[in-house]
Structure 1
Amino acid sequence: MADSTTTTQHAFAGWDKPELDLSEADWRSSSQGAGDVQIAFVEGFIAMRNGGRPEAPSLIFSPAEWRAFVVNAREGEFDLT
Structure 2
Amino acid sequence: MSPDLSGAIWRKSSKSGGSGQCVEVALELPSAPGHVAVRHSRRPGAEVIVYTDAEWSAFLAGARNGEFDKP
TM over 0.5: yes
What is the 5 A alignment of 1:8-23? 18-23=1-6
Deviation at 1:35, TM superposition (A): 2.2
Deviations along 1:2-22, one digit per CA (max 9) or x if unpaired, are xxxxxxxxxxxxxxxx32111
Q: 2:11 aligns with which of 16, 28, 31?
A: 28
| 4+ residue segments displaced more than 6 Å | none
RMSD between superposed Cα atoms in Å: 1.4
Q: Label 1:32 to 1:58 Cα distance change in 2 as closer, same or farther (>3 A).
A: same
* TM-score, normalisation: structure 2: 0.77
Q: Give matches, 1:1-81, under 5 Å.
A: 18-30=1-13, 31-33=16-18, 34-40=20-26, 41-42=28-29, 43-81=33-71
Q: What runs of 5+ residues in structure 2 fail to find an aligned partner?
A: none
**Share of identical aligned residues, percent?**
44
Give the CA deviation at 1:51.
Answer: 0.5
Structure 1 stretches lacking a partner, 5+ long: 1-17
